Structure formats: C-alpha cells, structure tokens
C-alpha cells in the first residue's frame, strides 16, 4: 500500500480492497433486466471496510460487524428525479403499502436470491456503472452506501440495542448535512443545517482515501 501524501491512501493492484472489479458479473456489464446475489461482494465489503486490519477500515461502520447484509448486482437502469442511480442501501423489509400477498411475494423473492430472509440490509449495485468506474469510485460508492446502513439512537442520542439478542437496532441513516447551496452563498456555512461546520472543515483537508463524486448517483440519497 503506497501513499501519495500524508493523508491520501492510494490502493494498489493486489490489495484486498482493490478486487471489487473482479466480482462484477461479466454478463451484466451492459444494461438489461437481471439481478444476481453475490455473497463474495459481501465478503469484499467486510474485508475492505469492517476489518480493522484493512487499510480502508472505517470505524464508523463498526455497528455493522454483526449485521446480515445481502448484495445484489443488477444491470437494470434506474433513475429518480432525473438522475441515474448506481447504488442503493435498503432495510430488508417490504414496502408497507403492499397487501398480504404482495409482502409474501416480496419475501419469497428475497429467499430465492439469498437463501434466507434473515437480512438486515440489502445493498444493490448497478453493474454497468461499476464496470467502467475507477477503483476509488468503487470504494467511495460502497463506503457511502454503508454510511446509510445506520444504527438507531434513543432520545438521548445513545445507540440502541435489542434486549433479547444484544444486536444493534438498525435503520437507514440520512446525511450529516442537507442544505441548499444558496443558504451557504447568502448567509455563510455557519447558517447551514446539521453538521455544516464539520463538513466545511473536512472539505478543506486532503481526502484520506481519494476524490470521488457520488452524491448524484446514490439511490438512497434521492
């Protein structure tokens, strides 16, 4: 593992964290109508971001060490709000609007894909995008989706755990900062919502891993 500077990590070929491209189904590199579960991609996620010995280990994902995660590759194009979506993170539960049969079909499909329904999250990746993306983009998009896989907090801001199992109570996490550019422009970042000051301070520093643009391509964000 080489470093370009003090802060930026540049993964090299052969690193554990540099092998996602080998997991992209070749037959799904072009747009189509397929979905494919991939346990090896889950292994890659755990080895890359959840293993303390990995150069790309992220302590902010520690709550996911006990999470059951399923990964799907798809070549079905998806758009929302006039933007292309290349990845999503979802809780493994059917939409509340479905009736009893609809929910039964939903769970049946999950079991066909993963061999179980005991999942906490389902992460879906758009194979044609990843087939043409850089390694840094692979890392950034995957890491971004894991940030959405959050742990619920109580009224005091403390992480919640299930009483019977001791496992985290999982939920989808929003962004630390959601604000209009115009607010920053007109009033300054101090007037921004959420952790705006922390975001600006982080943006002023060199990236720890590398630069990537992902805000416009995450389905969970839109």
Closest Cα to residue 23, out of 130, 145, 136?
A: 130
Strand partners, 83: 80
Predicted pLDDT of residue 52: 94
Predicted pLDDT of residue 84: 87
Per-residue pLDDT of the chain (222 residues; tens, 9 = 90+): 334 444 444 444 345 444 788 999 999 999 999 999 999 999 999 999 999 999 889 998 999 999 999 999 999 999 887 778 999 999 999 999 999 999 999 999 999 999 999 999 999 999 999 999 888 889 888 988 998 999 999 999 999 999 989 999 999 988 766 665 665 666 676 666 566 677 777 777 777 666 555 444 455 555
Predicted pLDDT of residue 13: 38
Instruction: Give the largest CA-CA distance in the chain.
Output: 56
Separation of alpha carbons 198 and 131, rounded Å: 33
User: Would you list the DSSP string of 43-84?
Assistant: HHHIIIII-TTSTT--GGGGGGGG--EEEEEE----EETTEE
Predicted pLDDT of residue 99: 96
Predicted pLDDT of residue 59: 92
Predicted pLDDT of residue 81: 78
CB 58 within 8 A of CB 146: yes
Phi-psi region of 71 (alpha: psi -120 to 50; beta: other; left: phi over 0): beta
Strand partners, 70: 122
Separation in Å, CA 194 to CA 51, 175, 190: 29, 9, 10
Q: Classify residue 158 by its DSSP letter.
A: P
Predicted pLDDT of residue 105: 97
CB 73 within 8 A of CB 28: yes
Predicted pLDDT of residue 1: 39
CB 45 within 8 A of CB 69: yes
């Amino acid at each position: 593992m080489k470093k370009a500077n003090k802060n930026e990590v540049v993964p090299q070929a052969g690193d554990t964290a540099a092998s996602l491209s080998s997991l992209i189904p070749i037959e799904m590199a072009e747009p189509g109508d397929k979905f494919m579960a991939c346990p090896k991609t889950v292994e890659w996620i755990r080895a890359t971001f959840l293993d303390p010995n990995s150069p790309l280990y992220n302590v902010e994902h520690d709550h996911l060490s006990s999470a059951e995660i399923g990964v799907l590759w798809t070549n079905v194009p998806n758009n929302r709000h006039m933007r292309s979506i290349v990845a999503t993170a979802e809780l493994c539960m059917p939409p509340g609007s479905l009736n009893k049969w609809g929910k039964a079909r939903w769970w049946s499909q999950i079991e066909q894909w993963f061999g179980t329904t005991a999942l906490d999250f389902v992460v879906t990746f758009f194979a044609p995008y990843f087939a043409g993306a850089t390694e840094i983009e692979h890392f950034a998009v995957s890491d971004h989706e894991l940030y959405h896989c959050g742990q619920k907090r109580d009224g005091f801001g403390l992480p919640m755990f299930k009483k019977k199992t001791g496992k985290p109570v999982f939920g989808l996490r929003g962004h630390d900062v959601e604000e209009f550019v115009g607010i920053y422009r007109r009033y300054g970042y101090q007037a921004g919502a959420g952790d705006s000051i922390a975001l600006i301070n982080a943006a002023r520093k060199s990236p720890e891993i590398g630069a990537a643009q992902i805000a416009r391509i995450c389905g969970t964000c839109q």
